Structure formats: C-alpha cells, structure tokens
Chain A
Amino acid sequence: MDQDLLKVFETCLLCPGICNNKCPVYRKTHLRTAAPNVLGRLGTRIIRENRIDLAQGLRLCVECGLCLDACPVKNPLPSAIQGLKRIIYKVPESVPEPITLLEGDEKILIVSSTMPAQWIIDELREQGVGVLYLDSYEAREQRALYGAVGLPKDFKEKYKIYCEDYRLCPEAPSGLKLLLDYDIRPPKKPPAYTLLLPCGENGQASYEEAVNVYGTPSTTMDTCGIPDLYLAGYEVYTRRLLKKIKERRKGLFYLSPDSFTAKVLGSLLDAPIVSPLSYR
C-alpha cells in the first residue's frame, strides 16, 4: 500500500509541475506547498523518512481532482493524498452509505463532497439542478473519518450525475465544469453566517469582534465539544488567525456557509463570492 502511494508521490516529485497552475488552492493562496508537484515531494518524504511533521501540508489539498484532469499521465495524486491521510490519521476505509435525496433536487445532480455556498445551491435549484452535499471537507477533517463519502448505485441509474469529486463517480463529467455553464451571480447582501467560537474565555471577545464587523450571526457554535478541530484548506485564508490559534492552542475559528470551497468555486466562476467574514 505504502509502496503504491509512494510511486504516485514520486512521480509528482519528478514532474516540473505540469498541473500546478490548474490547482485552485495553489492559485488562490500562492502557497508553493499547495502546488501538486510540491505535495508530491512532501508525500515522498512523509513515507520515506517518516516525516509526520509535514503531514499538515497534505491538508492544503481539497482533493478536487483538477490536477488529475491536467495530468498527462493521470497520476492519481488526490487519492494518494487521501490514502496517506487515512494512514496517518488511522482512519478506516470509508463505507458508502445510502443517501436520501434532498427535497427539490432534480434529475440533474451535482454531487459535491465539499459544501458550496448555500446561495449557489439555491440558485442552481432554481435552475433545475440539484446539488447533493455529501460531506464537507471540513466535516471530514473534523471527524478525521472520511466516512459517508460514497454514492449509492441506484443514483447512477436515476440521475444525470455531474461530480465535483472524481472519486465518487469517476466516469461522470466534473460538476465544477457544469457549474461554470450556469450564470451564477453572488447575492448583493452577504448570506447569513454561522459563527464558530473558540471554547473558553476567548469566546466572548471573538463574538463581539464578529458582531462588530459583520453583524449578528444567525447561529453560533463553540468548539468546546470538538477538541481537535481542523479547518483543513480553510486555514490558508486565516493564516493570521491560525497564528493566534497556535499561540493559544485554541483560538478563533469562523465557520461560514461561504467555506473555502466557496472561495475556490468563486475563483473558478470568475465571480467574487461574497463572504460574510473577511478573512484578512
């Protein structure tokens, strides 16, 4: 298993980065570690030298599969990254679970393993396209499980499926590409947002800060019950916050419907997605 993964990473290590410029995370954040050929180098070192300290770099990958689209040898980097994370975080193989279709979904279905902003889902629904949100990246990271990611067989017969995540339905066209065909404009007013507050004494201050800048959140949650919360790719937008988090071990996290995914989608759609919180 490790040897197979290693081969995938080594191929990227040897590559000058043919797909780099197609990686939405690298393009958006300009963090070189997120560039797929650098992730290949990271994976190689993690496996060969047991450099677990580098594993956090793997979390920059949102496993969207766009690098694979651009790879001339179709080297399966996203699944290798997923596999390695599974080993590192001792996660069992995921078992696809039956999923109940959301009300309002139509015959065209975009299967998304990451959560697009709610208003994008709403707009698509209005245009007759269903979005099935299987499991957000953040949620997967939170639980470090990668479970519940899967697509029941009968869905494939019933629906014309576009997949945002190639692993769920490798034969289906990319849902991200389909999204590009729709004229989606961001709403003028920021959508309601959920504020995730740190556990303990910093919570109140964070709440006040958020309300002050962005208005009252529609929901609040705190991290008290989620001791080891990762925000995955999200963190690249909150580097400054992350610094704080590192300093205080638990710091300020914001969770909004406009997640990292929404940012990525925004860049692909070439239309800014309004975020209720500025991450700067």
Chain B
Amino acid sequence: MTLLRDFLEDVKALLGEDKIVTDPWLLIGYERDYWPLAVAMEYTGKWDPEPPKVAVLPTNEEEVVQILELARRHGIPVVPYAGGTGVLGGALPLRDSVILDVSPLDDYGWHDKDSMIVYAEAGVPLIDLEEWLNSQGYTLRHFPQSYPTALIGGLIATKSIGQYSTGYGGIEDIVLGLHVATYNYGLVRIPPVPRRSVLWSLKHLYIGSEGHLGIITRAYLQARKIPECSVPFSLRYNSFKEALHSAMKLVQQGTPPELLRVYDELESQSMLGESGSLIIGVIEGPCNEVDARISVMENTLGRGLGDSEPALRWLEERFNVIPKIRDLAEMGLAFDTIEVALPWSTAYTAYKETIEKLMEQEGIIYASAHASHFYLSGAAIYYTIVFELGKLASVYNKAWDIIEETSSRHRGTISHHHGIGVHRLKWLRLEYDDNTLRLLKDLKKLLDPDGVYRDESIK
C-alpha cells in the first residue's frame, strides 16, 4: 500500500492530479471486462471483486513510458485497459496494481494517404476510425462483433479478427507498424512499411501480447477503398458436416467470399430460425469481378448461391448481442463462448466429439457452434455453451477442459482470437511442448525482467 502511495505521489508530481483516478465510485468501471463468468456473477449478485485502487489516464505516449518507469521503480504491476470487451478477464485488476486506461490516447488521421496508411493511437475506438474512413470512401474492413466498443490498442493486444476475415484476414494483416511503450527500452517504434525482412518480426511479437510485453500506444493500419459491390447470399444444407465441407471447397478453390459463416443445426435454428445447417456469406469487390467469382463458386459447389434474405437479416443485427444475453439472464442461465481453430482434416470430428461430451455434462443446457473464420488449412470453430447458473461452479471449467483438450488432441489450437486473458492460462500447456513453453516464458522474463506488465503468471 505504501508502495502504491509513493508511486501515486510520483505520478502526481510528474503528470498532475488530473490524470489519476482514486475515488472508488470512479473505479467501478475497471472491476471487470466482459468475461462472461464475471458478467453472470455480477448479474446474480455473487460478484464481490476487489476493485482497483487507482487508475491512471495518460494523454500521450511519453507519459505512458514515464508511468511504466515509475511503476518499475516502485514495483507496481500495470494492467492496461482499453474498451473492456475482452472476454477472458485480461483487463481484470491485480492486487495492488494500477490500471492504465489508454482511452485518452485518441488521436488518429492519415499517415500517408497515397499509400492508404492511417495512424491511430491505442484509445481510438474502432468505430470512430472506420466511420471517419467511410466518410472519405475508405475502410479497414475489420469488423469484430465488438466493433462498436473495442479500442485499437485492445484489438491489437488480443490479435482480434473480424467478420470479413476470409477476405481480409485478422488485425495482424492490417497492422503495418506500431509504437509500444516500455519501461526498459523507452518508446519502441516499429515504422510502417509494406513488408519487412529485417531479422525477426518485432511487430508480430507485440500483436496478441495482451499487455504482457509493454503498452501498445499507436498503430499504423492499412486502409483500403470501400468495395464497389457487395452480394449477400445463403446456402442451405441438411447437416453441419455437409455445410462445413462446402465451405472448405469454397475456400480452397481460391476465391472464397469475404464473409462466410457456417452454422450448425442448433444455431441455424436458434440464431436464424432455419432448419438444417445454414451458410451465409457476402462476396464483395469490383462489380464485374464479383459476378465472375459468383460463377466460379457456383461451379465449385455444383449449385446456385441462394437468397440473400438470411444474410441480410444477420447483417442488420450483427452487433446486437443484447436480446440473447438478456433472455438467458432472465431465465437464470449463463453462457460462455469458446473459440478454437482446427485443420479441415479433423474439424468436424472434433466438433462432433466436443458437442457430444458437453451435452453429457449435468448443468449444461445446450452447446452449439458455428464456423466463421476460414483458411486453406482449416477453420475456427466457435462454441456457445449455456449453463444453469446454479451448476456453474461445478461445470464451467469442465466445459472449458472438454473444448480445449479435444481441440488440442485433434491438432487444433486452444485459442483462435479471444486470446488467453487470465482464465485461459490454465490450458497454455496444451498448446506447446515444455521446451517451447519455456521459450515463451523466457521471452516474457527477458522483456519484463521487473514483472511490471499486467500478469506475472506466464513467467
């Protein structure tokens, strides 16, 4: 506590009082992020967190470096907080830590318009940047479902991916350069270039680093022109297996739709009111190219692309998560979403095995999935599990175990895009062998020798 007080005195002297928040009622917002377990506990009145004692709100990159230096000097861990939409507790305060809210770093603009490169500080809401680009005919085409809320720093720190990923990739495909504040190397600058072959990639070290290696303060991002034409479509199949197979064919024939989503039978029904297994997609680009690609896709599948109605309905509601969440809460149910990625060769088997095992568990009301990010080599499978609140304690971790273990055994990853946060650390050992895990931990130690950044648990 004295350490914290001394730290605060120093921050005050350096940056002034305005950038420090200590009133308990002003700190409530930092008690949690959007980890569904924390949300359910708060909703049911079982949430009794230890709120953070202090948040600092630096307004420029230099101040972030200075705060980190002071944190190191006083031995205070720093937890960065951006939009608070992370779903794994990554932004939860640690005991006697300081929350570093990056939202005041909110400057953005063109870095190089001819090259369609924008700069954005860590606190810029993605929605602001996209709307500003749209007003000039440009776009990032990065639309995670948390698009209205998430901030640039949080998105890069968790290696986010958007709904149009099949066409445009994840955030790693649009980040051209970065600034990262550190206490031991000052402000690390990775200038934006089209591509770089200069030893290992520092940029990729920080993308997905979740606050463990420094604070991302600024990014240079690749914008593009808004596509001229956009054609939504749907395809109906009898089973998820068949639908997934068709998605694989579409992806592997070379010009997959920019947006592609495949729902299992349960989700087709519950999300879109359709029986069987539904594929929805959007193909976009120059109009004549879109037409040509539609014929290629139809040839590949041996059938015409179906009506646009379900896709349009989905597009309309794609950021509106509230009705479902509220219905579940009012019924006394909790939920979680867990995403993994698997090679095509095992994706369906792993999915089937996972759902069967989940449904055997007492306390799980239902488990369903969809696939919404695709690669030549495989797909991301996104599970939704609905729990009885009363049984949460006994079944929650079990459900996670089943999904992570099955994915890992079928040569998949334990996390496709939500990252690790605090909750997923338990399953880290499934991802890499001991030596590789040691390398990962040594890297953390090397870059954070004083244990300042966020969480020491991967050390």
| Contact indicator per residue, chain A 33-77, by CB within 8 Å of chain B (1) or not (0) | 101001001100000100001101100000000000010110100
Say whether B25 faces chain A, with CB atoms less than 8 Å apart. Answer: yes
Known contacts A14-B329, A19-B148: A54-B28 contact under CB 8 Å: yes
Interface residues in A1-48 by Cβ distance below 8 A to B read 10-11, 13-21, 27, 30-33, 35, 38, 41-42, 48
How far is the CB of A201 from the nearest CB of chain B, in Å? Answer: 24
How far is the CB of B398 from the nearest CB of chain A, in Å? Answer: 24
B28 touches which one: A19, A41, A70, A239 (CB < 8 A)?
A41
In the complex, what residue of chain B is closest to A280 when comparing beta carbons? B18
Known contacts A13-B43, A16-B85, A240-B17: A72-B28 contact under CB 8 Å: no
In the complex, what residue of chain B is closest to A55 when comparing beta carbons? B25
Known contacts A30-B103, A72-B319: A38-B28 contact under CB 8 Å: yes
| Contact indicator per residue, chain B 324-361, by CB within 8 Å of chain A (1) or not (0) | 01100100000000000000000000000000000000
A21 touches which one: B57, B149, B325, B326 (CB < 8 A)?
B149
Across the interface, do A56 and B326 meet the contact criterion of CB distance under 8 Å? no
Say whether B4 faces chain A, with CB atoms less than 8 Å apart. Answer: no
Known contacts A32-B30, A41-B28: A18-B319 contact under CB 8 Å: yes
| Contact indicator per residue, chain A 67-99, by CB within 8 Å of chain B (1) or not (0) | 000101101000000000000000000000000
Across the interface, do B30 and A16 meet the contact criterion of CB distance under 8 Å? no
Contact partners of A53 in chain B: CB under 8 A: 25
Most buried by A among B39, B43, B101, B322: B322
| A→B interface (CB under 8 Å) | 10-11, 13-21, 27, 30-33, 35, 38, 41-42, 48, 53-54, 56-57, 70, 72-73, 75, 239-240, 243, 280
Interface residues in B1-48 by Cβ distance below 8 A to A read 17-18, 21, 25-30, 34, 39, 42-43, 45
Across the interface, do B25 and A42 meet the contact criterion of CB distance under 8 Å? yes
Across the interface, do B149 and A16 meet the contact criterion of CB distance under 8 Å? yes
Say whether B321 faces chain A, with CB atoms less than 8 Å apart. Answer: yes
Say whether B125 faces chain A, with CB atoms less than 8 Å apart. Answer: yes
Contact partners of A72 in chain B: CB under 8 A: 317, 319-320, 322
The dominant DSSP class at the A interface is: helix
Say whether B257 faces chain A, with CB atoms less than 8 Å apart. Answer: no
B25 touches which one: A16, A21, A54 (CB < 8 A)?
A54
Known contacts A16-B149, A32-B101: A21-B29 contact under CB 8 Å: no
A30 touches which one: B17, B57, B148, B317 (CB < 8 A)?
B57
Say whether B323 faces chain A, with CB atoms less than 8 Å apart. Answer: yes
Contact partners of A75 in chain B: CB under 8 A: 322
Contact partners of A56 in chain B: CB under 8 A: 25
How far is the CB of B180 from the nearest CB of chain A, in Å? Answer: 21
The 6 closest A-B pairs by CB, nearest first: A32-B29, A72-B320, A38-B29, A21-B125, A17-B149, A30-B104
- Report how far A70 CA is from B26 CA in the complex, Å: 24
Say whether B84 faces chain A, with CB atoms less than 8 Å apart. Answer: yes
Contact partners of A243 in chain B: CB under 8 A: 17
A18 touches which one: B101, B128, B148 (CB < 8 A)?
B148
Across the interface, do A48 and B148 meet the contact criterion of CB distance under 8 Å? no
Contact partners of A35 in chain B: CB under 8 A: 29
26 contacts between A and B (CB under 8 A): A10-B329, A11-B322, A11-B326, A13-B43, A14-B322, A14-B326, A14-B329, A15-B325, A17-B84, A17-B85, A18-B148, A18-B322, A21-B149, A31-B29, A32-B26, A32-B28, A32-B55, A42-B25, A54-B25, A56-B25, A72-B320, A73-B322, A73-B323, A75-B322, A239-B17, A239-B18
In the complex, what residue of chain A is closest to B55 when comparing beta carbons? A32
How far is the CB of A163 from the nearest CB of chain B, in Å? Answer: 24
Say whether B415 faces chain A, with CB atoms less than 8 Å apart. Answer: no
Say whether B83 faces chain A, with CB atoms less than 8 Å apart. Answer: yes
Say whether B66 faces chain A, with CB atoms less than 8 Å apart. Answer: no
Contact partners of B268 in chain A: CB under 8 A: none
A31 touches which one: B21, B83, B85, B329 (CB < 8 A)?
B21
Across the interface, do B329 and A33 meet the contact criterion of CB distance under 8 Å? no
Across the interface, do B146 and A16 meet the contact criterion of CB distance under 8 Å? yes
Say whether B127 faces chain A, with CB atoms less than 8 Å apart. Answer: yes
Contact partners of B319 in chain A: CB under 8 A: 18, 72
- Report how far A56 CA is from B24 CA in the complex, Å: 11
Contact partners of B101 in chain A: CB under 8 A: 30, 32
- Report how far A243 CA is from B18 CA in the complex, Å: 10
Most buried by A among B27, B106, B148, B323: B148
Contact partners of A14 in chain B: CB under 8 A: 39, 43, 322, 325-326, 329
Contact partners of B84 in chain A: CB under 8 A: 16-17, 32
- Report how far A41 CA is from B47 CA in the complex, Å: 12
How far is the CB of B392 from the nearest CB of chain A, in Å? Answer: 16
In the complex, what residue of chain B is closest to A57 when comparing beta carbons? B25
In the complex, what residue of chain B is closest to A279 when comparing beta carbons? B18
How far is the CB of B99 from the nearest CB of chain A, in Å? Answer: 9
Contact partners of B127 in chain A: CB under 8 A: 21
In the complex, what residue of chain A is closest to B31 when comparing beta carbons? A41
Across the interface, do A10 and B83 meet the contact criterion of CB distance under 8 Å? no
How far is the CB of A65 from the nearest CB of chain B, in Å? Answer: 17
Across the interface, do B148 and A73 meet the contact criterion of CB distance under 8 Å? no
Contact partners of A33 in chain B: CB under 8 A: 25-29
Across the interface, do B25 and A10 meet the contact criterion of CB distance under 8 Å? no
How far is the CB of B299 from the nearest CB of chain A, in Å? Answer: 39
- Report how far A140 CA is from B101 CA in the complex, Å: 32
How far is the CB of A206 from the nearest CB of chain B, in Å? Answer: 19
- Report how far A11 CA is from B317 CA in the complex, Å: 17
Contact partners of A38 in chain B: CB under 8 A: 28-29
Contact partners of A32 in chain B: CB under 8 A: 26, 28-30, 55, 81, 84, 101, 103
